[in-house]
Amino acid sequence: MLTDVEFVTQFSADLGHDYGVAKSYVRDVPTQALLLIRSFTHKLTDQLAEAKGVKFDSPNLYDRIETLNSKRVVDVRIARALHKLRGDGNRGAHPEKYHLTAEQLLALSEKSIGKLLKLVESLFKQVTGKPLPKYQFEPFDSLAGRDLCYRAIMKGDSEAQYLVGMSLKTRALMQQEQEQAIEELDDCKPQESGSSETLIKAQYWFAQASAKDMNALHEYGVALIHGYDGQADTIAGEQAITQAAQAGVPNAMALLGYFYLVGSETLTVDLAKAEEYLQRAADLEQSEAMANLGVLFYQQGDLIKANFFISQAANAGFPHAQFHLALMLANGEGAEVDMLASERWMKEAAEQGQVDAMLSRAQAILNDDSSATNELALAEKYLREVIKYGHSVPAMIELSIALADGMLGRIDVVTSSALLKLAKERANEDELAVIAPLWDSLLQQVENVLSVATAPDELNSLERAKELLS
């Protein structure tokens, strides 16, 4: 019986090779596995289009999938599957921005391999003209990770050194976000940092590979700017990024364009150069570059172009662009007011973990008297995520009010008090003015119930709440 790699190779020799490499990285370098799955999806759209004589007008993967759907090369079900793989690849590029843990990233990469196989099964007869063969999935292994380390250490292979560095960097950034997250509302001491040592190792491997690998040079520049080893060197970092950008590295061009957009330690604002580098990166589907092109044109007052590029970034799966597109559509900036589309993009951004979108969605749900129980649960989940990762005082206030007033189907004065106390500790002057009357009202509520409560558990909770507000 065929193995899964042999099965995909029968579908397409080129894609079979890519599938095998992507699968081999799942356990040890899941970010690379997800990026290769996205690349697989991109190549697959080329193959499907070529077979039907379809020409693409855009390099953007979202646009390509939609073109295949509109030309009826694929049906809605296949288009949806392609979009899911595209989305998984986007998460793989920056897992820390999606609040993923290492375990969740690994699970995502494993599931994406399964989705890819299901997609190939669905397309097999259409592409090959042959009946679907039987095959057996072979378990994931860690051989690729060991091979990478061997090549990096013993052979000085720059690509392997770069991939080892990326694996370490991704692990460190995800760990760093979890370290900085607020876990317990009544015990908000920072966690011990274990990410620093991993970032030092990542910088070491980027430095080793930087002479031969331009992607590694870019990452080394980023490491120098952020001081992965504890000592930032912004000038050397920006020089490395400039060199990588001039060599055509998409992420480096996107970052250099951003530097020219806002200015940096060594580069003054130059909007012409910003547009040049951002456009070159956007042409290679770098979604942050698309979004920053939108920002550039927004600042220049060209709302139509701003809307176009922010839409491109949103369609490419960039959550921040999705949030800002929702605002532009609600305000009629660069397009007609479209509240339905605005709400759809706000939901999409919230589902992807964009903190401003999650707060906006939670507020909308809580302000809607017709919200169902499951929607209220979603609002609470979003507020807790915004507090955990965004340390947002408005979210703390919103959740405190909701818990004190029973808006979520229960009253929890202890957590409400803890949230309000945390908000007060982090608030600015305007936020403190909002908190003051809420504080007095909640304390009065607690004291009133204390005077009539008799159940021991309830009394303990009320005394704890009063203590927090004292």
> Are 9 and 17 within 8 A, CB to CB?
yes
In angstroms, rounded to a whole number, what is the distance separating the alpha carbons of residues 438 and 401?
8
In angstroms, rounded to a whole number, what is the distance separating the alpha carbons of residues 137 and 116?
12
Cβ count near 111 (within 10 Å): 12
User: What pTM was computed for the model?
Assistant: 0.87
pLDDT for 178 equals 81
In angstroms, rounded to a whole number, what is the distance separating the alpha carbons of residues 25 and 175?
20
In angstroms, rounded to a whole number, what is the distance separating the alpha carbons of residues 295 and 307?
9
Helix (H) or strand (E) holding 105: helix 102-128
Q: CA angle at residue 110 from 176 to 69, to 5 degrees?
A: 110
From its phi and psi, is residue 332 left (phi > 0), alpha (psi between -120 and 50) or beta? left
Contacts of 35 (CB under 8 A, 6+ apart): 89, 92, 93
Look up tokens 């090779």; give the residue: 17
Q: pLDDT tens, 241-263?
A: 999 999 999 999 999 999 999 99
Q: Which of 58, 45, 43 is nearest to 311 (CA)?
A: 58
> Are 235 and 265 within 8 A, CB to CB?
yes
> Are 352 and 323 within 8 A, CB to CB?
no
Three-class SS state of 339: helix
In angstroms, rounded to a whole number, what is the distance separating the alpha carbons of residues 165 and 456?
56
pLDDT for 185 equals 52
Identity of residue 440: D
pLDDT for 410 equals 93
pLDDT for 176 equals 85
Helix (H) or strand (E) holding 398: helix 393-405
DSSP 200-211: HHHHHHHHHHTT
Q: What is the pLDDT along the chain (470 residues), one digit of tens a residue?
A: 999 999 999 999 999 999 999 999 999 889 999 999 999 999 999 999 999 999 998 888 989 999 999 999 999 999 999 999 998 988 887 787 788 888 899 999 999 999 999 999 999 999 999 999 999 999 998 888 888 899 999 999 999 999 999 999 998 988 888 887 765 554 445 455 689 999 999 999 999 999 999 999 999 999 999 999 999 999 999 999 999 999 999 999 999 999 999 999 999 999 999 999 999 999 988 999 999 999 999 999 999 999 999 999 999 889 999 999 999 999 999 999 999 999 999 999 999 999 999 999 999 999 999 999 999 999 999 999 999 999 999 999 999 999 999 999 999 999 999 999 999 999 999 999 999 999 999 999 999 988 888 888 888 999 999 999 98
> Are 15 and 6 within 8 A, CB to CB?
no
In angstroms, rounded to a whole number, what is the distance separating the alpha carbons of residues 77 and 433?
52
Task: Please name the residue ranges forming H helices in 181-336.
Answer: 195-209, 214-226, 234-246, 250-262, 271-283, 287-299, 303-315, 319-331
Three-class SS state of 3: strand
Contacts of 418 (CB under 8 A, 6+ apart): 185, 186, 468
> Are 426 and 390 within 8 A, CB to CB?
no
pLDDT for 177 equals 82
